[in-house]
Amino acid sequence: MLEHWNVELCAEPVETEAVLFDVIGKLRKHVVMPYEEALAIALWVMLAWVHNDVATHSPILDITSAEPESGKTTTLGVVSFLVPRSIRSVEISDAALYRSIEVWHPTFVIDEFDNVLADDGKRQLRSVMNSGHTRGDGVLRVNKDTHEVELFSTFGPKAIGMVGRRLPATTMSRCIVVELRRRKVTEGFERFKHVDDGDLADLRGRFMRWATDSVELLRGVEPSMAEDFRNRHGDNWRVQFAIADLAGKEWGDQARGAALKVEAVTDSRTAGVRLLAAFKAIADESEHDAISSNDLVHRLTADPDADWTEWKNGKPITQKQIATMLGRGRFGIYPQQVWIEGRQVRGYRFADFADAWGRYL
């Protein structure tokens, strides 16, 4: 057991608003970040304290940055002393992860997760991380001593840190992504020493008291959800919205605004759905009812920053790759002979996309 796992329960009741305010202040004291990002992290930290009692889904907190030295490691350091029973690591195996959950029910804080993604030998770990998004899910393993099959739970709060955001779509959709930026030389902060102290211990004690008093208020709660938070987006934010609502209407509104801002820079859709969206944008601007495969490639790769410009091995996406993504049982859309301005060319009719657009966009 680690020293910071010992928590002294706060003797006095704790107001949700007060502890939210103090955690946001602690984060922004040591890391330069916008208020909305700090609020999103603070709400996730509070989720971690009621996670095992009230959460149905377990969103991964992904602290990322486009460049190193942007405060990612410091943020994870602060978080690691605020969440319950944190285990902080720069690497972990799939077996260590699910066996730790079984024994300790910890909160994982894993930095340098981009190294995990780069290691082909870590595919099992990524699968285990993904499997822990929903309560009741887990992994089956054979006990080496008894040779019996055992189900290990993988459901537990996890925070990761990485440079960039090249996560598999299946993992990205399970994440709340907070992207930090390198501070300006004129922006001041207080250096975090990465050691436990009285202030952090006091916050943990207040969190424990708050969680003890709030569990029943949060159990099974259904906060108001905007249309933008359907499906997994809503699953990832539902408890945090409920927590913010406990602090008052203003906090609830701020939480929903922060979620919109955070999600606006996160595209967790699969490549196929992103292609559908790009195709629809082209169709909406077109004067025709179809487009040739050749023109489609030119339109998709016109933006040098678009995904399609360097699709595979630094080369632009091809007509064949587009046809493969849209067909083969995924969306059932295939290139065919179409008429455009009196010419017959191989391409796509926009009308053939109506069903897929309605289902996936």
Could you tell me the residue range of the domain that residue 345 belongs to?
Answer: 274-360
Question: What CA–CA distance (Å, rounded) separates 10 from 218?
Answer: 20
Q: Same structural domain for residues 197 and 312?
A: no
Q: pLDDT tens, 286-343?
A: 889 999 999 999 988 887 767 788 787 778 899 998 988 888 657 888 899 999 888 8
Question: What CA–CA distance (Å, rounded) separates 177 from 259?
Answer: 10
Q: Same structural domain for residues 130 and 249?
A: yes
- 269 within domain boundaries: no
Q: What is the pLDDT of residue 263?
A: 84
Which DSSP letter does residue 184 get? P
The last residue of one of the domains, among 222, 241, 264, is 264
- Structural element, H or E, at residue 70: none
Q: Same structural domain for residues 112 and 139?
A: yes
Pairing type for strands 343-349 and 138-142 reads unpaired
- pTM tops 0.85: no
Three-state secondary structure readout of 165-187:
CCCCHHHHCCEEEEEECCCCCCC
Q: For the chain, how long is the longest CA-to-CA vector?
A: 80
Counting as low any pLDDT under 50, the low residues of the chain are none
Q: Same structural domain for residues 246 and 281?
A: no
Q: Same structural domain for residues 204 and 302?
A: no
Q: Same structural domain for residues 182 and 129?
A: yes
Length of the chain: 361
Instruction: Summarize the chain as % helix, strand, coil (round to 5).
Output: 50, 15, 35
Question: What CA–CA distance (Å, rounded) separates 217 from 176?
Answer: 24
Q: Same structural domain for residues 25 and 56?
A: yes
- Asked if 152 and 138 touch (Cβ cutoff 8 Å), the reply is yes
Burial (CB count within 10 angstroms: exposed 0-12, middle 13-18, buried 19+), residue 107 = buried
Q: What is the pLDDT of residue 266?
A: 66
- 116 within domain boundaries: yes
Q: What is the pLDDT of residue 43?
A: 98
Q: pLDDT tens, 240-280?
A: 999 999 999 999 999 999 998 888 766 556 678 888 888 88
- Structural element, H or E, at residue 81: none
